[in-house]
Structure 1
C-alpha cells in the first residue's frame, strides 16, 4: 500500500525519497498545537484539502526518508516498526511494507551506510531493529547509527524515573538498546558533518537533543525538519505551544527561529510528518508566513 505514496525530490546530486508507514493520519489539531481549535484550521484555506479535513482535523503522515548522496545511503528516522508494543493502539503491532518499499529504490537494508535519528521518540527509531525470530536485531547491519549524545543521555535519565509524562520509554528496549549493545551506535554532537552534502544542526525543544538535517549540493539547498514542527500550520503559528514538546519554551524558540531563517530563502523544506505535498517552501504572505507545498497554487 505504501509504495504508491512514495515521493522523491532532487537537491543537486542528492536524492531524498519518502517511505510512508502511516498515510493521512487524522487527529484533533490540539494534538499538535496544545491550545488550538478546529475553527482555526477551517479558517486557513491553504491547509485544505491536503493538510486538513473539512471539519478542522489535521492530516499528517508517519514516514522516514532515504537520503542518497554520490557516496552514501542515509536512512533518516526509521518510523514505528512492525510488531511493537506501543502505548496507543494505532501504533501497536503494525505490519507494514517499509522494508519492501526500500527495495523499490533498488536498496537492501545492507546497503544503508548511515542511520540518523533526529531524536529518540518511538516513531523515529522503530525500524532501527527487526524481530529475527529470537531477538531484536539491527535492520541495517552495515550502518553507523547516529544518535545525539545529549538526546541519548536525556532518555537514559528519563527511564530511571517512574513518571515519564506523555513520553513512553518502552521503545528504548527494542529499538535503541540492541543497537548500543552491538556497538553500532555513534554518539554525535548536535552540529555534525555527515558528508560533503549533509550535516545536522540543533533544534532542541521537542526533545532535549533534537537535531534536523541540512542538505546542500550544486548550489541547491534543502532541510528535513524532524519534529521541530509536525504540521504545516506551524509555519504560520510557530510561537504557539506544541503539545509533545518536552521543553515548551525552547520548542517555540526553535520553531520561530527556523521559520525566520528559511522564510523566503528558497530552501526546500521537507516536513517529517507533513502529508502530501511533504516538500515545499516557507514564504511570506501578507504580514505572516505559510507553507507552499510543491504543486499547490502559488508555489
Structure 2
C-alpha cells in the first residue's frame, strides 16, 4: 500500500517547489469521508492498510523564487497523539527537513497559510498544541520570527476567538499572530510568479496557490491545493466530502471547478496530504477522471 510521501521537488523555470515532510496521519475512512462506502474504497484498496486506515502526508511546501524563501503551511509541530476511532497523528520533522535544504527558520521571509486547521499551523510558535500536551505550557515566540505571515481575511475572522479541536489554538497560534498576521486576497501576487487562489469550502477563507515561471520561459503551472483534496481518491471520487469541511456543497463545487481547469496536461498539482507522491497531474476522463503521480523533476 502507499505510504506517507517523502521529500520531493518540482522545478518551474528557475522556481523550485519542494515538499518538506513534517509528519503524517492514519485516518479512518468511514469517519473522515462520510460519503464513502466499503464498496467505494474497494476500488482504491492500495490506499488502505491492514487496519483499514488511509495515510495522509503532513508538511509544508517550500517555494524559492527570485531570491525569496516562502513556506506554505506549517505542519503539525512536534506532536504524537490519537483521536480514538478517528485518526493518529505524528509530527515534528519540518525544521529538520528545512535544514536538509540548507535553510534555517531565519532564512524564511514569508509564511502563507492555506487555512488554519491544526495540521497546517503546528510550527507557528514554539508550542505545538495537541490533546495530550501538558497543561501550563507557554509561548516564547514565533518559529519564523522574521517572516511575514499571510492568510485570507475571511479565514482569520472565522477562527478569531474560537478554540475548536481542529482549529488554530488560541495560545499557540492566534495570540502570537495577532499583531503579525497580514491578509491576502484572491489573485494577489505575493512573490514573483506566486499568486493566491480563493478556494473556499473546506474552510470559509481557504486559499490555494498558483506558481508560474516569472521569466515566462516555462509555460507549465503548479497549484498548491491546500485541503481542496485530502487524498488522490478525491480526483476520481470528487463528491466525497471530508468530515471537517465547513461547507460540504461548496467544497465539492470548488473541487470540481479546479479539477476541470486542471485537466489541461500543463498543470502540476501539489497535494500536501497526498500519500506516495504529493506531485502529479489530473488525467482527463476517458471512462473516469484519474490521477498520475510524479517523481521529483527539475
**Bigger mean CA offset, 204-213 vs 11-20:** 11-20
Aligned to 1:138, what secondary structure does the other structure show?
A: coil
Q: Give how far 1:96 is off.
A: 2.2
Asked if structure 2 preserves the Cα contact closer than 8 Å seen for 1:224 and 1:271, the reply is: yes
Corresponding residue number in structure 2 for 1:8:
9
> Are 1:242 and 2:242 counterparts?
yes
TM-score by length of 1: 0.84
> Are 1:204 and 2:185 counterparts?
no
Aligned to 2:123, what secondary structure does the other structure show?
A: helix
Asked if structure 2 preserves the Cα contact closer than 8 Å seen for 1:116 and 1:146, the reply is: yes
**Bigger mean CA offset, 128-137 vs 110-119:** 128-137
Matches within 5 A, 1:170-181: 171-180=169-178
Q: Classify 1:144/1:85 alpha carbon distance in 2 versus 1 (closer, same or farther; 3 Å).
A: farther
Q: Give how far 1:246 is off.
A: 0.6
Corresponding residue number in structure 1 for 2:146:
142
Q: Give how far 1:9 is off.
A: 1.5
In 2, the alpha carbon distance for the partners of 1:83 and 1:36 equals: 29
In 2, the alpha carbon distance for the partners of 1:56 and 1:86 equals: 16
Aligned to 1:151, what secondary structure does the other structure show?
A: helix
Higher helix residue share: 1
Q: Give how far 1:170 is off.
A: 6.0
Aligned to 1:175, what secondary structure does the other structure show?
A: helix
Q: Give how far 1:111 is off.
A: 0.4
Asked if structure 1 preserves the Cα contact closer than 8 Å seen for 2:110 and 2:147, the reply is: yes
In 2, the alpha carbon distance for the partners of 1:118 and 1:108 equals: 22
Pairing partner for 1:111 from 103, 107, 110: 107
Asked if structure 2 preserves the Cα contact closer than 8 Å seen for 1:198 and 1:213, the reply is: yes
Q: Give how far 1:241 is off.
A: 2.7
> Are 1:26 and 2:22 counterparts?
no
Q: Classify 1:83/1:294 alpha carbon distance in 2 versus 1 (closer, same or farther; 3 Å).
A: closer
In 2, the alpha carbon distance for the partners of 1:30 and 1:95 equals: 23
Asked if structure 2 preserves the Cα contact closer than 8 Å seen for 1:11 and 1:220, the reply is: yes
**Bigger mean CA offset, 234-243 vs 221-230:** 234-243
Corresponding residue number in structure 1 for 2:134:
none
Asked if structure 2 preserves the Cα contact closer than 8 Å seen for 1:191 and 1:199, the reply is: yes
In the alignment, structure 1 segments of 5+ residues that lack a partner are none
Q: Give how far 1:153 is off.
A: 0.5
Corresponding residue number in structure 2 for 1:99:
95
In the alignment, structure 2 segments of 5+ residues that lack a partner are 129-136
Q: Give how far 1:258 is off.
A: 1.0
In 2, the alpha carbon distance for the partners of 1:55 and 1:135 equals: 37
TM-score by length of 2: 0.84
In 2, the alpha carbon distance for the partners of 1:171 and 1:156 equals: 10
> Are 1:42 and 2:58 counterparts?
no
Q: Classify 1:290/1:136 alpha carbon distance in 2 versus 1 (closer, same or farther; 3 Å).
A: farther
Q: Classify 1:169/1:274 alpha carbon distance in 2 versus 1 (closer, same or farther; 3 Å).
A: closer
**Bigger mean CA offset, 217-226 vs 51-60:** 51-60
> Are 1:272 and 2:272 counterparts?
yes
Q: Classify 1:37/1:54 alpha carbon distance in 2 versus 1 (closer, same or farther; 3 Å).
A: farther
Matches within 5 A, 1:164-243: 167-169=165-167, 171-180=169-178, 183-217=179-213, 218-243=218-243
In 1, the alpha carbon distance for the partners of 2:278 and 2:290 equals: 14
Q: Give how far 1:281 is off.
A: 0.3
Asked if structure 2 preserves the Cα contact closer than 8 Å seen for 1:125 and 1:176, the reply is: no
Q: Give how far 1:192 is off.
A: 1.9
Pairing partner for 1:69 from 36, 46, 65: 65
